[in-house]
Amino acid sequence: MKPTRGSSESNEETVEHIKKKIRISRSPKKSINLFHCLNELGDHSIVEEIQQYLKSGTLAEAKLTSLQWSALVFFLLTSEQMMDVFELNKSVGRENASDKVVRKLLPVIKESRSAHLDDCNITDKGCAALASVLRSNLRELDLSGNKLLDLGMKHLSDGLKDSHCKLEKLKLRDCGITGEGCDALASALRSNPEHLTELDLSENKLGCSEVQLLSGLKDDPDYKLAKLYY
């Protein structure tokens, strides 16, 4: 056997071993490190595959394997376009956006300062996942046009009340929220009043008492809420 061929075979074995590790990895951080290893070994095949899906607009979530999902997260996190703003519809296409996709892309949302997840077919299940990333660098979150309903609002409120949540702008236009969801949101703001400066609840199903409640928070000097839309 020629030495070069032996080296090439050994390289291929290492690449396959790394891919196997990514498939079973539960840690996004570990997966990203492993993709860096693949890059160093000169294997860009999976990431290039994902780029082709994105370019051609054929990224259908059902077709992606766990390895490809990890590749998509890696690509978005290391992409030059991935600066401060993450737009889900632009990244995967509106027809592919869903609760499942939100859960898969949480590491990307977590690293963004502004996440635009408007009109992305998100429900209360997606909100339960998003609550965990509100304790990150995220400063602006747009969930307008999703059917979050009161249960989704309650899940988000769990994240908003966390003292590590530094969210400044929250847009929830036309999300099917009623008084119950509004009460949960007000309660979260009472627990963590320091950061939220802008809140959009327009086109929801709020009654007079909810409007009074929120207006009261806006007028209270203990709260930072400066802009309120309802």
Cα–Cα distance for residue pair 157/151, rounded to 1 Å: 10
| Residue 82, pLDDT score | 60
Cα–Cα distance for residue pair 215/206, rounded to 1 Å: 12
* 71-104: pLDDT as tens digits: 999 998 887 666 689 999 888 888 888 999 999 9
- What lies within 8 Å, CB to CB, of 206 at 6+ separation is 177, 178, 179, 182, 214, 230
Domains (range + CATH), the chain: 1-79 (no CATH), 82-230 (3.80.10.10)
Cα–Cα distance for residue pair 202/177, rounded to 1 Å: 10
Rounded-to-10 torsion of CA 146, 94, 85, 131: 40
| Residue 39, pLDDT score | 92
* 133-160: pLDDT as tens digits: 999 989 999 999 999 999 999 999 999 9
Cα–Cα distance for residue pair 165/32, rounded to 1 Å: 25
Q: The pTM is what?
A: 0.89
